[in-house]
Amino acid sequence: MKRQGKQVVHGQYNILGLQEALNFGRQETRDYYKRYINPGLAGLLSLLDFDKQFVRAQGAYVWDREGHRYLDFLGAYGALNLGHNPPEVVAALEEVRERPNLLQASLNPLAAALAHNLAQITPGDLSRVFFCNSGTEAVEGALKLARAATGRPKIIYCENSFHGKTLGSLSVTGRRKYQKPFAPLVPGCEAVPFNDAAALEGKLAKGDVAAFIVEPIQGEGGVIVPEDGYLARARELCDKYGSLLIVDEIQTGFGRTGYLFACEHDGVVPDIMCLAKSLGGGVMPLGAYITRPDIWDKAYGGLENYALHTSTFGGNTLAMAAGLAAVQSVVNQDLAGQAREKGRFFLEGLRRLQKKSPLLKEVRGRGLLIGLEFNTPAGGLLDRLTLGKVNELSREYFGSLVAGQLMNKYRIITAYTLNNPNVIRLEPPLVVGREDIETVLGALEEILVQRGFLSVALDSTRTALGSLFKKKA
């Protein structure tokens, strides 16, 4: 029996079960990804030999099917501040497993408690919370709130920023590559250079700006740290011209930069703060924004407007239990203090390495949000023989080559940043041990000092060719 190309067995659909999925081999997973999910992603990861099958995870470690242990210094882009499968979060989920997870005809006491906790730990008078499921949803909600509360149309954002890929969030994400295929975007969104208060004032002074949205540190932009005082000046300018300040702490929040929230470095209290990633303890999808009550009430106050912005899964029991456990653990373990101390140690080691290696252009970051930007090798016989291709390869891909070396030779997981592929991020769980940081420092020294560009490029080529031959075999 056939039904529009779908495989039907004895009148029933060919539905796979959990155990069958758990037993998928590497090639089978590749094939299904290419057929049903994202062929380009599957092709890239298999070419770089990044599509290993990981079957266990705990803390800062994951294990592949062959039993090899890897250090996770990517940390799910900041979602794993507590590490993989933190037992306190897993235990909280088990504790609520018999409660209704979704029941809109009631008020969830867990949501009430988590909102209270967020109001306690966030700066200043932020205290009204909206729960959703992801960072991009938190940004969408913040943009809508700003327009509704101010009655103004414009949103100002920064070049090189990243706030998400849904249409509203994408409209304030500062990279044309991601925006162009989906134009026209949400109108009224205009970019200014990051770390440029004068340019920001030029936009705000027109008096029609609802909000300025900014990351305290640009993560996907290449871990770009603004000068001290930039956020404080942005706060002053927003107050001066009646615009709201939205601070996107989705990647920088919950201790990542050595503060509970990165805006505290400049002593800034935003009007709206976006949260997600590690808020769910690395186990449950969970996003939120938090604002002042007067801003919320202007947009959603009263019985007429309370339902203008809602979320079916926002505030569900499992996510709230995970959030309660995660926030409590971040505070009780002083993960912000740990990130500050470990980050200082890590950055000092990386800057010593920078002095030894001409390949390492810049080391930047704060706490355990660190970016390494690489130089283009200067000239040389090999570059002349290849008509400049060596420099071109380095400029465009050297970050991914280093990440590939760390993964395939040293079993250390990293990745390049989305807006700048020649920067790799080092963003481990905040519970990472100092000895693991030393392991990464040692691996980077071998790659960048002892071996150098040509060795890395040749090894990466062999890895790619090996992957191609495996697929053909």
Domains and CATH numbers, the chain: 87-332 (3.40.640.10), 335-472 (3.90.1150.10)
130 labelled catalytic: no
Q: What is the mean pLDDT of residues 184-213?
A: 98
Instruction: Give the orientation angle of helix 389-410 with respect to helix 434-445, to 10 degrees.
Output: 140
Give the pLDDT of residue 456. 65
Residue pLDDT, tens place only, 351-377: 999 999 988 999 999 999 999 998 865
Alpha helices in 72-134 (DSSP H): 75-78, 87-95, 109-121
Q: Which of 73, 130, 131, 162 is catalytic?
A: 162
As a whole number, mean pLDDT of residues 86-90 equals 98
**Per-residue pLDDT tens over the stretch 272-295:** 999 999 999 999 999 999 999 999
Mean pLDDT estimate for the chain: 90
Tens digits of residue pLDDT in 402-451: 888 899 999 999 988 877 888 999 999 999 999 999 999 999 999 998 87
Kindly report, residue by residue over 20-59, the tens digit of the pLDDT. Answer: 999 898 888 888 888 998 888 888 777 667 788 999 999 9
Task: State the residue for tokens 């969830």.
Answer: 108
DSSP 8-state symbol, 301: -
Q: What is the DSSP letter of 112?
A: H
pLDDT over 60 at 468, yes or no: no
- Selection from 39, 88, 95, 3 nearest residue 331 by Cα: 88
Residue percentage of the chain with pLDDT more than 90: 76
Where does 313-411 show beta strands of DSSP type E? Answer: 360-366, 369-374
Please tell me what DSSP assigns to residue 131. E
- Of all residues in the chain, the percent with pLDDT exceeding 70 is 88
Cβ partners under 8 Å of residue 376, min gap 6: 391, 394, 395, 398
- The answer to whether 270 touches 252, Cβ cutoff 8 Å, is no
Check: CB of residue 245 under 8 Å from CB of residue 235. yes
From the candidates 51, 72, 248, 271, which is the catalytic residue? 248
208 is a catalytic site residue: no
Q: Is the pLDDT of residue 327 over 60?
A: yes
pLDDT for position 395: 54
- Check residue 274 and give its pLDDT: 98
**Cβ atoms within 10 Å of 129's Cβ, excluding its own:** 22
* pLDDT reported for residue 283: 97
| Of residues 456 and 466, more confidently modeled | 456
Mean pLDDT on 184-208 = 98
pTM, rounded to two decimals? 0.91
Q: What gap in Å lies between CA 200 and CA 91, rounded to an integer?
A: 46
pLDDT(467) > 60: no
Average pLDDT on 247-266 reads 98
Active-site option among 52, 144, 203, 277: 277
248 an active-site residue? yes
Give pLDDT tens digits for 101-117. 999 889 999 999 999 99
